Amino acid sequence: PGGVLHPPATFYIGPNWGYLVYPGQPKTCRKCGQEGHLVVNCTEQLWRRCGQVGHAAVSCHHTLVCNLCGEQGHLYRACPKKTKSFASIVAGGGKDQVRTQA
């Protein structure tokens, strides 16, 4: 309504959550992503392993969804598209090569 499309208030970068805040931003829940209420008033249950709302972790029967590549069947920590960090390579004895940008 009104022709204005707002960017999401929360986002993932790998395993990390990010928050976007700007003047004139509509009240948006950082739990379910819906506009009109805040987390303190949210009644949804969001299970981050599948990205779906409406159920708890113990009752989740959905396929896992990676928040890095968006593919099903694995999580970020096991994503084949994830590159190793410099710190993990050094900790492992430096046997792997580090990808760098020139």
pLDDT tens, position by position, 1-30: 567 788 888 777 766 778 888 888 888 887
- Regarding whether 35 and 52 lie in a shared domain, the answer is no
Structure tokens at 37: 């209420």
- Regarding whether 63 and 32 lie in a shared domain, the answer is no
Over residues 56-101, the pLDDT tens digits come to 666 777 777 787 788 888 877 888 887 766 667 677 665 544 455 5
Residue 72: inside a domain, yes or no?
A: yes
Q: Which domain holds residue 70?
A: 45-82
- Regarding whether 50 and 28 lie in a shared domain, the answer is no
pLDDT at residue number 98: 47
- Regarding whether 25 and 10 lie in a shared domain, the answer is yes
pLDDT at residue number 16: 76
CA–CA dist 74, 72 (Å, integer): 6
State if pTM tops 0.95: no
